């Protein structure tokens, strides 16, 4: 009985303390690294674990979240939500697997206030996953800048690690981002994943003084490609495969990540000359990456 009362009290405390969704922005250093598939499969895994998940798709086109899922309709009303013409629940398209998708193309997410963004980020969802898109300067959108965690997806290949480092360096100098989570995708062995993360963390700490947290890894899995051909999530289509197990593990773990303050919604101003100097400062050689 005492344990039941204690559990009820803890649940009440969490409910009263809730100040919005946990927001995770997902991106990577290069195209084709697996950011969108990570977002879709992570959303499906979280929904299976009973979480209310909203996916915000900043990357419209043939390889977007909506396209990957077979072309979801009614997922492009972000601007209408910002203008107060639609509720978030009405605007977001509901996928049969239990998560919602809201497309947010660049022109529809510009010129909005922090209070307008809060309508989306403090809605009913437990977790908001943003498939983040960089602007022409390689910076995050004001929406993605409100995330609590920024997860960089990379692979074991040397070029992918170099690109991930370059991505973190750019975001560090553009937004004063001091912490990143790193997910190693398409991994052949656990040792490879640990080595890739250790190399990247060492370079980042030495040259950028930023902290990296290991978000884990997703195993290389031939069923990933087949799931994409079927417009399905591997978590749903082939739940017993290594990749599906990896996404479910990541979904379970991230629910226990410490809740950090959201990143600043404002992009610090820096003179062009200073930006150039900062971005080229302490540049490691390719062999370090």
* H helix runs in 18-140, sequence order: 35-48, 65-68, 78-82, 88-91, 114-121
Largest CA distance in the chain: 66
Q: Cα 49 to the chain's mean position, in Å?
A: 18
129: phi then psi, degrees, rounded to nearest 5:
-105, 125
> Is residue 10 within 8 Å of 2, Cβ to Cβ?
no
pLDDT of residue 144: 93
226: β partners? none
179: Cα within 13 Å, side-chain hemisphere: 14
225: phi then psi, degrees, rounded to nearest 5:
-65, -40
End-to-end Cα separation, the chain, in angstroms: 55
pLDDT tens, per residue, the chain with 289 residues: 444 444 444 443 444 344 578 999 999 988 889 999 999 999 999 999 999 999 999 987 777 787 777 666 666 678 888 888 888 888 888 889 999 999 888 888 878 888 888 878 888 899 999 999 998 888 999 999 999 999 999 999 999 999 999 999 999 999 999 999 999 999 999 999 999 999 999 989 889 989 999 999 999 999 999 998 998 999 999 999 999 999 999 999 999 998 877 765 543 333 333 333 344 444 443 333 3
Query: Which structure tokens are listed for 36?
Result: 């969108």
pLDDT of residue 169: 95
Helix (H, G, I), strand (E, B) or coil at 195: helix
Closest CA to 227 of 68, 93, 95, 97: 68
pTM for the model stands at 0.84
> Is residue 24 within 8 Å of 149, Cβ to Cβ?
yes
> Which CATH architecture is the domain 21-280 placed in?
3-Layer(aba) Sandwich (3.40)
Domain edges within the chain: 21-280
265: phi then psi, degrees, rounded to nearest 5:
-75, -10
102: phi then psi, degrees, rounded to nearest 5:
-130, 115
């Amino acid at each position: 009985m005492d344990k039941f009362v204690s559990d009820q009290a803890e649940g009440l405390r969490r409910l009263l303390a809730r100040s919005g969704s946990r927001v995770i922005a997902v991106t990577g250093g290069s195209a084709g690294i697996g950011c969108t598939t990570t977002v879709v499969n992570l959303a499906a895994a979280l929904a299976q674990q009973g979480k209310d998940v909203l996916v915000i798709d900043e990357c419209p086109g043939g390889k977007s979240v909506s396209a990957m899922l077979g072309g979801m309709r009614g997922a492009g009303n972000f601007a209408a939500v910002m203008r107060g013409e639609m509720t978030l629940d009405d605007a977001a398209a509901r996928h049969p697997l239990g998560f919602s998708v809201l497309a947010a193309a660049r022109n529809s997410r510009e010129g909005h206030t922090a209070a307008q963004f809060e309508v989306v980020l403090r809605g009913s969802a437990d977790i908001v996953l943003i498939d983040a898109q960089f602007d022409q300067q390689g910076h995050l959108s004001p929406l993605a800048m409100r995330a609590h965690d920024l997860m960089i997806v990379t692979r074991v290949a040397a070029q992918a690690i170099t690109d991930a480092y370059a991505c973190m360096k750019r975001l560090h100098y553009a937004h004063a981002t001091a912490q990143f989570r790193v997910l190693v995708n398409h991994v052949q062995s656990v040792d490879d994943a640990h080595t890739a993360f250790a190399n990247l963390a060492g370079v980042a700490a030495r040259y950028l003084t930023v902290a990296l947290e290991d978000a884990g890894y997703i195993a290389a899995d031939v069923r990933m490609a087949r799931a994409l051909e079927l417009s399905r999530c591997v978590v749903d289509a082939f739940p017993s495969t290594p990749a599906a197990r990896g996404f479910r593990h990541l979904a379970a773990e991230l629910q226990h990540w410490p809740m950090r303050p959201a990143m600043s919604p404002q992009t610090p101003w820096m003179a062009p000359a200073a930006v150039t100097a900062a971005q080229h400062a302490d540049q490691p050689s390719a062999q370090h990456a």
